[in-house]
Amino acid sequence: MYLEDLREAIIIGLFLAILLGPAFFALLETAAIKGFRAAISFDLGVIFADVIFISIAYLSTNKLLDKIKDDPSLFIFGGVLLTAYGVISLIKEKKSFNDQRAIDVELINKHNYFKLFLKGFLLNFINIGVLGFWLTIIITITPQLEMDQGRIIFFFSAVLFVYLLADILKILLAKTLKKKLTPTRIYNLKRIVSILMIIFGGVLLSKGLFPSSAQKIQNRIEKVAS
């Protein structure tokens, strides 16, 4: 049970780590210019904002999820939400293609770790799309965890831990990554991530619209994987 939860948590944690938003580029800039400790301080602020978003999303949907946890319409709602998020991101990325590196991290002293933590927190917290992301994850995942609080805490703790490990790797590779992430490559990567969101949204929709067929396909995939 927990092993399956961990597997899904690793997938979502890695997916979260490749989401290319302002915090992603600010983390690379901070690591390349100010060093490892400064970047970790910044990243902890980002993760703290995620913890708050998860709490808000879970508390606001907990009662609703408990009532409709066995309802296929939950997958339809989650699928529509994730697909819409992917489509909107795809459109926004095209519009902002020429304005992707407008992030200022030079103004903060590299030894002022609290300010870096605060900057990471605020940069992530003001991005309402992050709340939408966590809301979608909670709507689609928590019913599969049988609304068990122990499993839910384990799952989201594992997601954030994987996310932190992936960010540490990004910090260590910051100078190399910064040189390779040209505006064109950034744009293409963002498009890929948005398309993946649309695909995942389509999978959730199929689970809601055709539950028996989706379950058969999932069983076949699990047999092949094992």
pLDDT (tens digit, 9 = 90+) per residue, 149-171? 888 899 999 999 999 999 999 89
Residue with tokens 């999820």: 65
The confidence score (pLDDT) of residue 117 equals 94
- pLDDT beyond 70 at 111: no
**Average pLDDT for the chain:** 76
pTM of the shown model: 0.68
Please determine, for residue 107, whether its predicted confidence score (pLDDT) is greater than 70.
no
35: left (phi over 0), alpha (psi -120 to 50) or beta: left
Q: Is 103 helix (H, G, I), strand (E, B) or coil?
A: coil
The pair of structure tokens assigned to 35 is: 């060093």
User: Other C-beta atoms within 10 Å of 132: how many?
Assistant: 17
Question: What is the chain's Cα-based Rg?
Answer: 18
Question: In the prediction, which pLDDT does 63 show?
Answer: 66
Q: pLDDT per residue over 59-93, tens digit each? A: 877 766 655 555 566 667 667 776 777 787 777 76
